[in-house]
């Protein structure tokens, strides 16, 4: 089950109470106070794990509590600290305050540890209140409650390249041909219901990660189709590949398709339009000689938009090497530009 957004309540452990106790030993009739302090409550940590790709665990565990600290005991024995709770989340998870949306932490690398809720401090026992003028204290402290916070965990997949386009544009077929990913492929719209990641091998120990998200349609930002809920998964990508179905079977204008997707990207996050894009005309194998104007129209569009253009057939593999080369080249340029800025 792919879950990429959940609300979770985190309750750290309560501190143990301090103890009221007096030393009682044979031939020591007036032993002093020896009540120990309570143990601290357990903390709650979030840990990023590269082997996870969903937040499904939290769907069934919306409330997570750490253990409370043990009470103090006589003979100045401190209570045992409550056991810390470690919760694993996928790399790419953002932690936000549920009420305000403020970002608390963003897991960008595996193995990151974030203290989400701190356990309460254990209370002092009566031994801590003894003074030369107050030698028989009966005071003690209750343990402090642990921090309690309600957070939103939001997963944004981390990929180099994001594939966008209409349903059935061939995104799933493309990612299955250039990587080892095996998404569901069928001849009907919305076969992709969740984002897919694929690793493309470039040789010489180089690779890139491609994200395929469910297709968009006009009005997606208003909830039409599957909506734009999955677009967050391409917000971290460096470049976008805009896949356009130019086959006559769609009975749609490919240029109009491009404009619709661009408008949906803008409605979700205008910054996505500033992302570098490659326009890829797919399904060229389905064009007859008298239907080449559809391909020509997309070429002119790419020239007008000043974006790289590649004609491909994801089904037959034609043009895929050129597409991967264009992506790799653009990523190198992007990396170089970032280094120059730094």
Same domain, 282 and 333: yes
Same domain, 254 and 331: yes
- Two structure tokens written together for 70: 């043990």
Could you say which DSSP state residue 299 is in?
H
Strands (DSSP E) contained in 145-248 are: 148-155, 161-164, 196-203, 206-212, 239-245
User: Whole-model pTM?
Assistant: 0.78
Going 110 to 113 to 114 to 117, the CA torsion angle's sign is: positive
Same domain, 132 and 202: no
Pairing of strands 206-212, 196-203: antiparallel
Given a contact cutoff of 8 angstroms between Cβ atoms, the answer to whether 182 and 135 are in contact is no
Same domain, 296 and 171: yes
The sheet with strand 196-203 has its strands ordered as: 196-203, 206-212, 161-164, 239-245, 276-282, 309-311
Domain boundary among 107, 133, 155: 155
Going 111 to 182 to 313 to 266, the CA torsion angle's sign is: negative
* Count of structural domains, the chain: 2
Given a contact cutoff of 8 angstroms between Cβ atoms, the answer to whether 208 and 161 are in contact is yes
Same domain, 136 and 182: no
| pLDDT over 50 at 261, yes or no | yes
Instruction: Dump pLDDT digits (tens) for 35-87.
Output: 999 999 999 999 999 888 889 999 999 999 999 999 999 999 999 999 999 99
Same domain, 202 and 188: yes
Q: Count other Cβ atoms within 10 Å, centred on residue 332.
A: 11
Residue 304's pLDDT is: 94
CATH number (domain holding residue 309): 3.40.50.300
Given a contact cutoff of 8 angstroms between Cβ atoms, the answer to whether 10 and 117 are in contact is yes
Range of the domain at 60: 5-155
CATH number (domain holding residue 144): 2.70.210.12
Instruction: Dump pLDDT digits (tens) for 99-127.
Output: 999 999 999 999 999 999 999 999 999 99
- Two structure tokens written together for 255: 């240029």
Same domain, 235 and 149: no
């Amino acid at each position: 089950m792919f879950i990429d957004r959940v609300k979770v309540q985190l309750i750290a452990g309560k501190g143990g109470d301090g103890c009221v106790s007096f030393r009682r030993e044979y031939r020591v009739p007036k032993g002093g106070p020896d009540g120990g302090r309570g143990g601290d409550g357990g903390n709650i940590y979030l840990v990023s794990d590269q082997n996870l790709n969903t937040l499904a665990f939290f769907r069934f565990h919306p409330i997570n509590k750490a253990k409370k600290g043990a009470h103090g005991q006589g003979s100045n024995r401190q209570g045992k600290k409550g056991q810390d709770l470690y919760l694993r989340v996928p790399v790419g998870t953002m932690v936000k305050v549920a009420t305000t949306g403020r970002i608390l932490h963003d897991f960008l690398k595996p193995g990151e540890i974030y203290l989400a809720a701190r356990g309460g401090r254990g209370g002092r026992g009566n031994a801590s209140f003894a003074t030369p003028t107050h030698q028989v204290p009966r005071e003690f402290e209750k343990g402090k409650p642990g921090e309690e916070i309600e957070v939103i965990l939001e997963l944004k997949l981390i990929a180099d390249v994001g594939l966008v386009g209409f349903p059935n544009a061939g995104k799933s077929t493309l990612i299955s041909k250039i990587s080892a990913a095996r998404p569901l492929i069928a001849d009907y719209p919305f076969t992709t219901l969740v984002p897919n990641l694929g690793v493309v091998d470039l040789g010489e120990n180089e690779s890139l990660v491609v994200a395929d998200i469910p297709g968009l349609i006009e009005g997606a930002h208003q909830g039409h189709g599957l909506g734009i809920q999955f677009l967050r998964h391409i917000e971290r990508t460096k470049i976008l590949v805009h896949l356009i179905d130019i086959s006559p079977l769609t009975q749609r204008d490919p240029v109009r398709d491009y404009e619709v997707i661009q408008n949906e990207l803008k409605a979700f996050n205008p910054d996505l339009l500033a992302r570098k894009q490659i326009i890829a005309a797919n399904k060229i194998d389905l064009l007859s000689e008298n239907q080449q104007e559809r391909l020509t129209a997309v070429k002119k569009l790419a020239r007008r938009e000043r974006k790289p253009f590649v004609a491909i057939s994801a089904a037959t593999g034609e043009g895929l090497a050129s597409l991967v080369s264009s992506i790799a080249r653009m990523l190198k340029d992007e990396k170089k530009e970032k280094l120059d800025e730094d």
